[in-house]
Structure 1
Amino acid sequence: MKPLFTQGTIPRYRVLACALVAVALMVSEQRFSQVEVLRARLASVVTPIQWLASLPGDALAWSSLVLSNQQQLVEENQQLRQQILTLSQRTQRMASLTAENLRLRELLHAAKRRDISYITAELLTLDSDPFTHQVVVDRGRRDGVFVGQPVMDASGIVGQVIGVSAYSSRVLLLADANHALPVQINRNGLRFIVQGTGRFDTLMVRHVSDTADIREGDLLISSGLAGRFPAGYPVARVSRVEHDPGKPFARVEATPISRLERARHFLLLFPPPPRDTLWDESFAIRELPKALLSVLPPLTAPPAEEPEP
């Protein structure tokens, strides 16, 4: 194969031309919104090539499944039966807990949590850039995917969608250094920000006061702040807490709950739009005291002033 850059006068012009093209592309991406549309269309063109590239791996997985021996299938069948029995017992216990939770909510007059719809997606390709942690999944604009959509696997939150084409989408993982997520401690409700470090096994919990009640093993869940990620989904577990008497903040590290390096199937969530509780009449009637409601004037628009003759 002939190298792209060799010694001589002409290759120097090639390097200069490539550098000028790169600078022009970066400037055009910052100044013109049409570049994003062009990128989405190019991604739609590249999608069949990505599918073809993933075919050998899918064929290998299918062949290994077909060629599995009978003893292994029998053992897996027994393990699955045991898991079914365990899950059935948990389901029965969950039914009683759900009924108890419903009675407590009725007693407290609390609002019901709304169900979140979702679609499934499968890993298509990995990003080749070693300085970013991004993946491409086989769902796109035709499936209703949008930029900023939360993504999770069977264990917890994986990341969010940052680019959408017609048939595929690009997902930024939690491990990326440019990804941040508002979380809270499941034990006491303290709220923090979790940011990626560029490593799949470590996240940083930012701006933790040295006197904050945070311990190793605490479960961090999404807080629902900023309205992008729904509340209550597992994100990470605190793995290390270092207190320095000379600094106001502690160094806290966490391990992601989701399997960022091994997951192949994902869920793309469609969280409902946030409710405007300021002008929600039912919320006001439920929360404000009746005496205060009787004093306040009704929430109606003032009458229009008549024009002077």
Structure 2
Amino acid sequence: MDTIFTRGPSINSRLALALALSVMLIVVDHKFDGFSSTRVYLNSLISPIQYIANLPSVMLSESAQRLTSHQQLLSENERLTNRLLMMSERLQRFEILQTENVQLRKLLDAPVKPEMRKMVAELMAVDNNPFSQQIVINKGAIDGVFPLQSVLDDRGIVGQVMEVGTTNSRVLLISDVTHAIPVRSVRNNIRFIASGSGSLDELILEHVPHSVDVKEDDLLLSSGLGQVFPEGYPVARVSSVVRDESLPFATVMAEPLARLDRLKYLLLIWPELVQEKPEEVLPPYKFLPQDTAQQEENGQ
């Protein structure tokens, strides 16, 4: 019994008919453009299917592009942040040099200090001990960090390296009660000792006689005494001066210029001596803040 599929012309005949119709339609479309409107409708009908079929490729391409753009932005942001920190450090010194230029006109022939080596570090952790003001940075002995090394941010001195590990270091902030830094006033070059008060926004000027010329808003710079901090970097600004004659010394408070409560990127500075002998600072070393005075007395 014949089935429905065996009825009608043979396969070869149907193929020949289909080819003939195809050629005729191609000729008619080419010569008379008779199917232009039909193509528009067909394209409109097939367009959603094309979008759906192409969707995975588009999503992968956009995801890869966004990821690349995000990585580029992060890299560019880090590069610009490092550059800003470097330029801020240089600007700090240039502003002080400009202020002192009037006083030092007669010493223009004096030798200029060589450029110091610098490195940008990033904050890793903050010590949660309420009686200690310390932070941890992501640079250590393999980067040449050494004990007593000066640490700055984009505004001024932050503190000094206290302990050096292989890949990280612990920094003692200038606001710690065990920390003290020699400073001088830009206005009249009077020297003071600025000690930490335990508060991030306050320093104490120790043993200031009532007769000393110190005023509010005086800018204090590192004096370079003690050979720990380099000379001429901003430290603090005098915030209050109280002269109580019943007390042996005036009560002078200063506000640190460094933003100790919002540190992120920091700057490590190498003095010229360390640049000449870097091998002497590579081994890990632990520094105890209470030994500072004894080291200075012994000439260390």
TM-score normalised by structure 2 residue count: 0.57
**Residue equivalent to 2:120:** 120
Provide the C-alpha distance between the structure 1 equivalents of 2:254 and 2:137, rounded to a whole number of angstroms: 26
Match of 1:262 in 2: 262
**Structure-2 residue corresponding to 1:11:** none
1:151 Cα deviation from its structure 2 partner = 0.3
CA contact (8 A) 1:176 1:196 kept: yes
Q: Where does 1:1-309 land on structure 2 (aligned, <5 Å)?
A: 108-273=108-273
Q: For 1:181 and 1:107, how far apart are their aligned partners in 2?
A: 27
Conserved in 2, the CA contact under 8 Å of 1:105 and 1:111?
A: no
Taking the aligned partners of 2:165 and 2:250, their CA distance within structure 1 comes to 41
Q: Which residue of 2 aligns with 1:7?
A: none
Alignment deviations for residues 61-88 of structure 1 (CA, whole Å, 9 cap, x no partner)? xx9x96xxxxxxxxxxxxx9xxx9xx9x
Q: Distance in 1 between matches of 2:223 and 2:114?
A: 16
CA distance, structure 1, for counterparts of residue 130 and residue 211 of structure 2: 37
- Report what 1:8 is aligned to: none
Alpha-carbon distance between aligned partners in 2 of 1:183 and 1:144, rounded to the nearest angstrom: 27
% identity of equivalent residues: 47
TM-superposed CA distance for 1:260, in Å, is 0.4
Report the alpha carbon displacement of residue 108 of structure 1 after superposing the two structures with TM.
4.4
Deviations 1:7-39 (A, max 9, x none): xxxxxxxxxxxxxxxxxxxxxxxxxxxxxxxxx
For 1:109 and 1:175, the matched residues in 2 are separated by 38
Q: How far apart are 1:105 and its partner, in Å?
A: 5.9
How has the CA–CA distance of structure 1 residues 106 and 206 changed in structure 2, closer, same or farther, with 3 Å as cutoff? closer
1:248, distance to aligned residue in structure 2 (A)? 3.0
Q: CA deviation at 1:129?
A: 1.2
Q: Report deviation, 1:249.
A: 1.0
Structure 2 portions without partners, runs of 5+: 1-66, 71-79, 275-300
Question: How far apart are residue 247 of structure 1 and its match?
Answer: 2.7
**Which residue of the partner structure matches residue 69 of structure 1?**
none
Q: Quote how far apart the aligned CAs of 1:131 are.
A: 1.1
Q: In structure 2, do the counterparts of structure 1 residues 106 and 167 end up closer, same or farther at CA, with 3 Å as the change threshold?
A: same
Higher relative contact order (CA 8 A, sep 6+): 2
Counterpart residue number, 2:282? none
Equivalent pairs counted in the alignment come to: 185
Instruction: Give me the whole-angstrom Cα distance separating, in 2, the residues matched to 1:116 and 1:178.
Output: 28
**Alpha-carbon deviations, 1:139-183, whole Å to 9, x = none?**
000000001001000000000000011000000001110110000
TM-score when normalising by structure 1: 0.55
Q: Counterparts of 1:107 and 1:210 in 2: how far apart (Å)? A: 33
Instruction: Give the counterpart letter for 2:270 in structure 1.
Output: F
Deviation at 1:107, TM superposition (A): 6.2
Q: Deviations over 1:91-118 (max 9, x none)?
A: 9xx8xx98xx6xx768643221222211
How large is the Cα RMSD of the aligned pairs? 3.1
In structure 2, relative to structure 1, the CA distance for the partners of 1:106 and 1:251 (3 Å cut) is closer
* Structure 1 unpaired stretches of 5+: 1-62, 67-79, 275-309
* Alpha-carbon distance in structure 2 between the residues aligned to 1:144 and 1:128: 27
